[in-house]
């Protein structure tokens, strides 16, 4: 039998109502949400369960919200004895992947995630930027487009999501110029994304300093299973490399497609998306259709999942 990976979603997977069923059905979830509310200094749980959506979409709220939802589900999977051979997460999801792999604990990592969300939102306000999805060009072609557009402003490839789907990030002028060039070069679709900043671009440098300080203070341990990290798409078990990867990830492209290919190369044939939504399942389906995919977002999905393990 092949290997199992847990994959963890990042920003844009949130939805109003997330985690509410877990809070009611799983006593540990209640404790975890109550801890999060104390750390945040306001009711994060209430925003997750009831909205308003505008509030949940604020980066400083979104990131801790997705992290706690993923952590509650990962805790339940662990209690059921379902253990992965690898973990990986998309951007913010890498923090969930780290904890699920045994490299850190929920209570220590949560404040770092909170800090990351605050710093990224602040950087987005200080240095306004945007992102866009480019469909139908290769990573190399998108890299060329960004270089060509850079005379208008900062713009770089930010997420290598699936074959022919790359997100770009940077200043508003740079990204819009790149969108125009990408259309002229035959991109099937180019769409600006609703984001509060130029994530995974040099415009996040101001956030990187504060995040690095928080990560330096974070106590990590050697994970039980390797984490396939965004910046290199390689499995990592070294505490120092994991720490540096999380720092660099903020201003580097998320190599999601290469990460999935690497896990498949390492004999992973089943993946469980742990946390809200099904964005990653859609991406994996396009990258490696042979992988057996499961979602574990709601309590109902979790009980269905048990029958397959």
Q: Is residue 237 left, alpha or beta, with left meaning phi > 0 and alpha meaning psi from -120 to 50?
A: alpha
Cα–Cα distance measured from residue 34 to residue 196, given in angstroms and rounded to the nearest whole number: 27
Q: Is residue 91 among the annotated active site residues?
A: yes
User: Which is nearest to 134 in space by CA: 145, 149, 125, 147?
Assistant: 145
Residue 298 Cα distances to 6, 19, 79, 112, angstroms: 16, 7, 16, 25
Q: Which of 171, 200, 201, 245 is catalytic?
A: 200
Report, in angstroms and rounded to the nearest whole number, the Rg of the chain calculated over CA atoms: 18
Q: How many angstroms separate the CA atoms of 149 and 170, rounded?
A: 11
Distance CA(22)–CA(34), nearest Å, equals 13
Contact present, 203 and 197 (Cβ < 8 Å): yes
In angstroms, the CA 254 to CA 69 distance is 21
Peptide bond into 110 cis (omega under 30): no
The helix/strand/coil state of 86 is: strand
Which one is catalytic: 13, 45, 70, 91? 91
Angstrom distance (rounded) from CA 146 to CA 133 = 13
User: Which are the catalytic amino acids?
Assistant: 91, 200
């Amino acid at each position: 039998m092949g290997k199992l990976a847990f994959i963890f979603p990042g920003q844009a997977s949130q939805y109003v109502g997330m985690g509410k069923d877990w809070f009611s059905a799983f006593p540990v979830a209640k404790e975890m949400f109550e801890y999060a509310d104390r750390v945040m200094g306001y009711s994060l749980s209430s925003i997750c369960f009831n909205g308003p959506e505008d509030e949940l979409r604020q980066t400083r709220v979104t990131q801790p919200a997705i992290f706690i939802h993923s952590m509650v589900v990962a805790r339940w999977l662990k209690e059921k004895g379902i253990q992965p051979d690898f973990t990986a997460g998309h951007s913010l999801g890498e923090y969930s992947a780290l904890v699920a792999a045994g490299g850190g604990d929920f209570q220590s990592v949560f404040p770092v995630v909170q800090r990351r969300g605050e710093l990224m939102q602040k950087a987005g306000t200080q240095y306004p930027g945007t992102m866009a999805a480019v469909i139908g060009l290769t990573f190399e072609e998108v890299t060329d487009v960004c270089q060509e557009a850079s005379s208008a402003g900062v713009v770089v490839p930010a997420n290598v999501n699936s074959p022919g789907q790359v997100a770009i990030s940077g200043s508003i002028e740079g990204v819009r110029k790149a969108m125009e060039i990408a259309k002229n070069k035959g991109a099937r679709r180019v769409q600006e994304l609703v984001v509060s900043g130029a994530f995974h671009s040099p415009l996040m440098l101001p956030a990187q300093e504060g995040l690095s300080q928080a990560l330096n203070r974070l106590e990590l341990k050697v994970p039980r299973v390797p984490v396939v990290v965004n910046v290199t798409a390689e499995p990592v078990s070294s505490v120092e490399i994991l720490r540096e990867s999380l720092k660099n990830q903020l201003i580097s492209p998320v190599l999601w497609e290469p990460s999935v290919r690497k896990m498949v190369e390492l004999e992973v044939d089943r993946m469980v998306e742990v946390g809200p939504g099904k964005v990653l399942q859609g991406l994996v389906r396009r990258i490696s259709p042979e992988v057996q995919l499961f979602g574990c977002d709601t309590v109902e999905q979790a009980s269905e999942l048990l029958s397959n393990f």
